Structure 1
C-alpha cells in the first residue's frame, strides 16, 4: 500500500493547467478535504471529475489493481487531480539559459547545420558584443568550435557565413517542471508540457 501512496500524481489548477506533482498520499488528502477533484480520462476523449465520495463510489463499482484498502473502504489511486480553487500560474517566461539555447537549437551548429555533443558547441553572439550585439535570445546561437573560430569577431556577413535559422525567443506555454527521470503516466500526456529551467545567463557568455 505504501508504494501506491508514494506514486506521483499530476496536479492541475482550476484552469486545467499543470502546476505541480504530488504524491498519491497528498492527492488523497486534498481530495478528502474537498480541495481537489480526481480527473479521469473518458473513453471518448472527454474528462470526468469526481469529488471524494464520488471517487470512493467509483472505486467500489470498478475495482482497480492500484487501489488502497482501508478498514471501511477501498479507493483507487488517482493519477491526475484538479484543484478546486487554485488558478495561479507561474509568472515566468522560458528562462534564458545555456541549456535552453541548446534545446532551442537542437544541439545543432547554426552556421554549418551539424549536430554535435554539447561539449563541442559554443554559444556565439551573432553580432559580436564589442559591436553592440546584445546577450539575448535573438542574438545568441549554438556554434561548433570550427565555425566559431572562423567567424571570430565578425558578423556572419563579414565572415561569409549564413545562419540556418533566425534565432528567436521560444514561446512559453503553461508547464510543470518535472524530473526528466520520472516515469510519466499515460494520463498526463494531455496536460504535460515539459520545459527546462536552469540559471539564467548573464553577460559573461561567449565572444
Structure 2
C-alpha cells in the first residue's frame, strides 16, 4: 500500500513517510527487516491510510476455524480448552432431529462431551451450554490466530484500560 502511494508509514516520532523515505531509514540490529532485491528495509509497525471510506462489509464464513475462534477454542459444554486434535463441532440440535448447520446451531466441543451428548439435545443429555451460539460480526481481529503482539510503536494508538476502569472516589 505504501509502495503504491495509498498509505504513509509512521516512524517513532510519528512522522508520515512515503515508501522511498521509509526505505532510506536504516535497519537497526534489534529491528525486523524485509529483504528486497537491492536492500533491506524496516518492517513498518504503524501505517496511515491516505484515503479511507470504511471497512468492507463481509459476512463471516461458516467453517471450523471461525467456529473455534468465536468460541475461544473452548468446549461450550465443559469449558475446557483441549488440544486442537481433541476439539470437534457439535450441532446443538442434532441434525437427526432437524437441526441445521448454522452459526446458531454449531458450537466448539471437546470429543469427550460430544461423545457424551451423542445425538441428543443438551437438556436430554443433562448438559448445559456455556454461552448461546450466535453469528459473529466480522472483525479483522478474528482473522489473527492467537493473541496479537503489542509493539511499542502501537502504544500511542491503544486505549489504556486502566484509565477507564479505575474506581472514582470522593
The 1:174/1:107 distance shift into structure 2, 3 A limit, reads closer
Instruction: Structure 2: state its 5+ residue gaps.
Output: 29-40, 159-170
Deviation at 1:145, TM superposition (A): 2.2
Answer whether contact 1:122 1:145 (CA < 8 A) is retained: yes
Q: Among residues 91, 105, 108, which one is paired with 1:142 in the alignment?
A: 108
Q: Return the TM-score normalized by structure 1.
A: 0.52
* Deviation digits for residues 81-107 of structure 1 (CA, Å, limit 9, x no counterpart): 333235463431332220121222232
Partner of 2:9, secondary structure, is strand
Q: Return structure 1 stretches of 4+ with deviation > 6 angstroms.
A: none
1:149-185 deviations in Å (ceiling 9; x for gaps): 22111111111111122112223224696698x9885
The Cα shift of 1:188 comes to: 5.2
Contact 1:39/1:49 (CA < 8 Å) preserved in 2?
Answer: yes
For residue 65 of structure 2, what is the aligned residue in structure 1? 99
User: Who is 1:38 aligned against?
Assistant: 9
CA distance in 2, matches of 1:89, 1:101: 22
Contact 1:89–1:174 (Cα < 8 Å) also in 2: no
Alignment match of 1:66 (pick from 17, 20, 27):
27
In the alignment, structure 1 segments of 5+ residues that lack a partner are 1-10, 12-26, 43-47, 68-75, 192-207
The count of residues paired between Structure 1 and Structure 2 equals 142
User: Comparing both structures, which one devotes a greater share of its residues to strand?
Assistant: 1
CA RMSD of superposed structures (Å): 3.9
Alignment of 1:1-207 (within 5 A): 27=2, 29-31=3-5, 35-40=6-11, 48=14, 50=16, 52=18, 65-66=26-27, 79=44, 80-85=46-51, 87=53, 89-174=55-140, 186-187=152-153, 190=157
Q: How high is the TM-score relative to the length of structure 2?
A: 0.61
